Amino acid sequence: MVDQGSGADIMYPDLFRGLNLKLEDLTAYDSPLISFEGKAVIPKGQILLPVQSGTEVMDVDFIVVDAYSPYTTIVARPWLHALSVVSSTLHVKVKFPSRGLIEEIIGSQSVAR
């Protein structure tokens, strides 16, 4: 999910386990976050991982939380700004400049619902 209003890139348990990451892979992150329900969530830690977006690969510093979410990650302003992304929640897509071209990542309308 792309969240233009968030200042943190978040990773949820399904992806954390799916990547075979372990708690030992995390560095400390001790500032609580506020969930969509308005509850404080204490992160498990943070991890810097390479993320491929189209043909671009960049390191993203994810804050790992142990909370339910229908998403595997939330990418936010740090990722958006680093790639110079223009996003459209209506069209479930992002566009960004890359190597003199405009790349596009298209999401799924059904999954977004």
| Tens digits of residue pLDDT in 29-68 | 989 888 777 888 899 999 999 988 888 888 999 999 988 8
As for how many domains the chain has, the answer is 1
Asked if the structure places residue 105 within a domain, the reply is: no
pLDDT tens for residues 57-102?
889 999 999 888 888 888 888 888 888 888 887 788 889 898 888 9
111 within some domain: no
CB burial readout 87-100, b (16+ within 10 A) else e: beeeebebbbeeee
**Tens-digit pLDDT profile for residues 103-113:** 888 877 665 44
Name the residue range of residue 62's domain: 9-83
71: closest CA among 20, 1, 21, 13?
A: 1
This prediction has a pTM of 0.81
Query: Is residue 24 included in any domain, yes or no?
Result: yes
Pull the structure tokens for residue 56: 């671009």
* Residue 106 forms part of a structural domain: no
CA-wise closest residue to 94 among 55, 59, 61, 54: 54
Task: Name the strand (E) or helix (H) holding 64.
Answer: strand 56-64
Neighbours of 83 (CB within 10 A): 21
| Cβ atoms < 10 Å from Cβ of 58 | 13
